[in-house]
């Protein structure tokens, strides 16, 4: 019997209404629109309402994906939420979403892989569908990065945004996921982390005073690794299929920084203006949600056609990374 082909049978996204522009940020920290645009490619980002949690955005994106797939919540066999900004430590955001959707018979769990969360989630969903254990997996990547952003730190607060993307994976007749490559390097975990709030440094008045419940990043050092690692992840995903840069119709990368993406494309011999999907200008870095929203938008805008070879490529805290090749 031939192996099951696993692909995307529905996509959805949700972006909060509130736009925070670079000009708005000029009033909050010592920065300029020009610095942010030139160093990152970001013009504005979306910020969730105070009363809007990660699960709220996840539910919106999931409903859009269900509608797109013409499925009902009870058709879902498993829910995975990729997030580093869960509503709370437990219960998982996936369980909160399961209840809100009424996807009553679906097991549900979160994964914590930072910006590579959507890629790792696809890898997990792929295995469950390929093995025949589950027919339809709902994968949501949702982040409220604004909740872990230090609005006094100009080096990080200009980078992040909030949002959610969702995908339903299931069996497809042709194409689908052709290759998956994942990686991690825990020795570089200190480059990007939220130090307090976990069992190592539980919340106390002094952790709050020390601003340790916010994301801390060594941007310069990360930048250096990001280019090398993302280019390598792309290569490792393409290699088993014998694909070269020219064979790839569209790269849909994690949207961390336009300069990283241009440098990665150059290393792969790909024209970034034509073959790299970008929405960082509108949304900034939404961690795991970035790749998920980018995929949903690329398809929505007709940038992905049947038969196209698509590369998803991500890199993030952990460090973690991954590349996935899909035939659409």
Catalytic residues, by residue number, are: 115, 254, 285
Using CB under 6 A as the binding criterion, the count of chain residues that bind ligand ACO stands at: 23
**DSSP state for residue 173 in the 8-state scheme:** S
Residue 267 makes CB contacts below 8 A (sequence gap 6+) with 227, 231
CA atoms within 13 A on the CB side of 107: 6
| C-beta neighbour count of 27 within 10 angstroms | 7
Cβ proximity to ligand ACO, 161 vs 175, nearer residue: 161
Are the CB atoms for 145 and 287 separated by under 8 Å?
Answer: yes
For residue 172, what are its two tokens? Answer: 């497809």
Q: Which stretch binds ligand ACO (CB under 6 A): 46-54, 130-138, 152-160, 243-251?
A: 152-160
Binding mask 19-58 for ligand ACO (x = CB under 6 A): ------------x---xx--xx------------------
Are the CB atoms for 4 and 130 separated by under 8 Å?
Answer: yes
- Per CB under 6 A, the list member of 2, 187, 199, 220 interacting with ligand ACO is 220
Binding mask 273-312 for ligand ACO (x = CB under 6 A): ------------x-x-------------------------
Binding mask 225-244 for ligand ACO (x = CB under 6 A): -x------------------
Q: Which stretch binds ligand ACO (CB under 6 A): 51-59, 72-80, 92-100, 218-226?
A: 218-226
For residue 120, what are its two tokens? Answer: 């790792």
Under rule CB under 6 A, residue 155 binds ligand ACO? yes
Under rule CB under 6 A, residue 223 binds ligand ACO? yes
Least Å from the CB of residue 256 to ligand ACO: 4
What distance in Å separates the CA atoms of residue 272 and residue 282, rounded to the nearest whole number?
A: 18
Q: Which stretch binds ligand ACO (CB under 6 A): 123-131, 134-142, 205-213, 256-264?
A: 256-264
For residue 12, what are its two tokens? Answer: 């959805």
- Per CB under 6 A, the list member of 154, 188, 193, 216 interacting with ligand ACO is 154
Distances (CA, A) of 186 to 71, 88, 191, 224, 317: 39, 24, 10, 16, 9
Are the CB atoms for 43 and 255 separated by under 8 Å?
Answer: no
Least Å from the CB of residue 38 to ligand ACO: 9
Report CA dihedral (151, 153, 155, 161) to the nearest 10 degrees.
-20
For residue 24, what are its two tokens? Answer: 């708005």
- Per CB under 6 A, the list member of 97, 124, 129, 158 interacting with ligand ACO is 158
Distances (CA, A) of 19 to 46, 214, 217: 5, 21, 24
Under rule CB under 6 A, residue 256 binds ligand ACO? yes
Are the CB atoms for 286 and 276 separated by under 8 Å?
Answer: no
What distance in Å separates the CA atoms of residue 309 and residue 328, rounded to the nearest whole number?
A: 6
Under rule CB under 6 A, residue 115 binds ligand ACO? yes
Under rule CB under 6 A, residue 83 binds ligand ACO? no
Q: How far is CA 108 from the centre of its chain?
A: 18
What is the contact surface with ligand ACO in residues (CB under 6 A)? Answer: 31, 35-36, 39-40, 114-115, 154-155, 158, 192, 219-220, 222-223, 226, 256-257, 260, 285, 287, 316-317
């Amino acid at each position: 019997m031939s192996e099951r082909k696993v692909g995307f049978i529905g996509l959805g996204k949700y972006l909060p209404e509130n736009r925070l522009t670079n000009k708005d940020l000029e009033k909050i920290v010592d920065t300029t629109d020009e610095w942010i645009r030139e160093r990152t490619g970001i013009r504005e980002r979306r910020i969730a309402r105070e009363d809007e949690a990660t699960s709220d955005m996840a539910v919106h994106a999931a409903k859009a994906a269900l509608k797109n797939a013409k499925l009902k919540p009870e058709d879902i066999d498993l829910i995975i939420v990729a997030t580093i900004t869960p509503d709370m430590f437990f219960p998982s955001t996936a369980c909160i979403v399961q209840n809100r959707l009424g996807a009553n018979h679906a097991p549900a769990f979160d994964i914590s892989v930072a910006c590579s969360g959507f890629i790792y989630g696809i890898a997990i969903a792929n295995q469950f569908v390929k093995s025949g254990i589950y027919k339809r997996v709902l994968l949501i990547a949702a982040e409220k990065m604004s909740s872990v952003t230090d609005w006094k730190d100009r080096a990080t607060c200009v980078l992040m945004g909030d949002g959610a993307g969702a995908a339903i994976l299931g069996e497809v007749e042709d194409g689908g996921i052709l290759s998956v490559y994942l990686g991690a390097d825990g020795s570089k975990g200190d480059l990007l982390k939220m130090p307090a709030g976990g069992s190592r440094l539980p919340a106390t008045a002094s952790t709050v005073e020390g601003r340790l419940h916010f994301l801390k990043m060594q941007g310069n050092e990360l930048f250096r690794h990001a280019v090398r690692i993302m280019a390598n992840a792309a290569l490792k995903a393409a290699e088993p299929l014998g694909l070269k840069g020219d064979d790839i119709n569209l790269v849909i990368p994690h949207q961390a920084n336009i300069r990283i993406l241009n440098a990665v494309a150059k290393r792969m011999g790909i024209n970034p203006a034509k073959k790299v999907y970008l929405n960082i200008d509108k949304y900034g870095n939404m961690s795991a949600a970035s790749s998920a929203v980018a995929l949903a938008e690329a398809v929505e805008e007709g940038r992905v056609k049947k038969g196209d070879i698509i590369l998803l490529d991500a890199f993030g805290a952990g460090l973690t990374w991954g590349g996935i090749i899909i035939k659409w």
